[in-house]
């Protein structure tokens, strides 16, 4: 039984690696052909949700952190510009 479980885990890892490689290649081709920055490229977990649970969670957390940092930077820029304008008026 242990041998079968080990084989299944190895096959799952191999399959995930193949799918990831295929999607990476597809994303590169699509990004080159579309040349559209707003177009959201498909991810492997969109098509294989049960296989890429951890990867989806990690990517979601990374995207959230990126959005928060972008928001912080925009607010910082806004406050800086606001303070500069205020200093010029005084």
- Give per-residue pLDDT as tens, 49-76: 888 899 999 999 999 999 999 999 999 9
Domain limits, the chain: 1-51, 53-90
Rounded-to-integer distance, Cα 45 and Cα 58, Å: 11
Rounded-to-integer distance, Cα 90 and Cα 68, Å: 33
What is the pLDDT averaged over residues 33-51? 76
Which comes out higher in pLDDT, residue 73 or 89?
Answer: 73
How is 30-59 classified by DSSP, letter by letter? Answer: HHHHH--TTPPPP-HHHH-TTT-HHHHHHH
Reply yes or no on whether the pLDDT at 14 is more than 70.
yes
| Residue 30: Cβ within 10 Å count | 14
Q: Residue 87 has which token pair?
A: 């200093």
What is the pLDDT averaged over residues 37-56? 80
The whole model's pTM is what? 0.57
Q: Identify which of 15-19, 67-71, 83-87 has the greatest average pLDDT.
A: 67-71
pLDDT mean across residues, the chain: 87
């Amino acid at each position: 039984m242990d041998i079968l479980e080990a084989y299944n885990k190895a096959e799952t890892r191999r399959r995930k690696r193949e799918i990831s490689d295929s999607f990476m290649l597809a994303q590169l081709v699509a990004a080159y052909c579309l040349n559209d920055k707003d177009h959201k490229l498909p991810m492997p977990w969109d098509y294989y949700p049960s296989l890429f649970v951890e990867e989806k969670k990690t990517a979601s957390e990374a995207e959230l952190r990126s959005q928060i940092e972008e928001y912080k930077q925009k607010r910082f820029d806004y406050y800086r510009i606001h303070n500069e304008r205020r200093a010029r008026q005084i």
